[in-house]
Amino acid sequence: MAKDQADISGGDNNHAVAADQLRAFVERIERMNEEKSAIVADIKEIYAEAKGTGFDSKVLRKLISARAKDVSALKEERAIIGLYAAALGMDEGIFG
C-alpha cells in the first residue's frame, strides 16, 4: 500500500489510525453540515418575516436570484470577451 493512502481495509495495525482519521473527517463534515442547516433555517425565517411584513416571498426570491444572476452574468460576459480576445490574439489584460 502506498504510504499516502489511508488504510481502512482491516487486518493490520494501521487500522485504528485510519479509523480515527476517518472519524475526525466525518465529525468535521457533520459539524459543518449542521451549521449549513442552521443558516438555511435562518434564511427561511427571514423570508417568513418578510412575508409577515407584507412582501410576497415568491417575488422576493425572484428579486434576489435575479441580483445574483446579474453578478454571474457579468463574469460570464467578461469570460466570453476574454475568449474572443484570445481567439483574435489580443491582449486580454486590457479588459481588467
Q: Which residues contact 22 (CB under 8 A, 6 or more apart)?
A: 6, 8
Decide if residue 62 touches DNA (CB under 7 A): yes
Decide which of a copy of itself, DNA, none touches 35; Cβ closer than 5 to 8 Å per partner kind: a copy of itself
How many residues are given for the chain?
96
Decide if residue 48 touches a copy of itself (CB under 8 A): no
Phi, psi angles (nearest 5°) of residue 4: -95, 20
Only one residue has cell 411584513, namely 53
Q: Which residues contact 91 (CB under 8 A, 6 or more apart)?
A: 85
Task: Give the interface with a copy of itself as residue ranges (CB under 8 A).
Answer: 2, 4-10, 15, 18-19, 21-23, 25-26, 28-30, 32-33, 35-36, 39-40, 42-43, 46-47, 49-50, 52-56, 58-60, 62-64, 66-68, 71, 74-81, 83-91, 93-96
Task: Give the interface with DNA as residue ranges (CB under 7 A).
Answer: 36, 40, 43-44, 47, 57-58, 61-62, 65
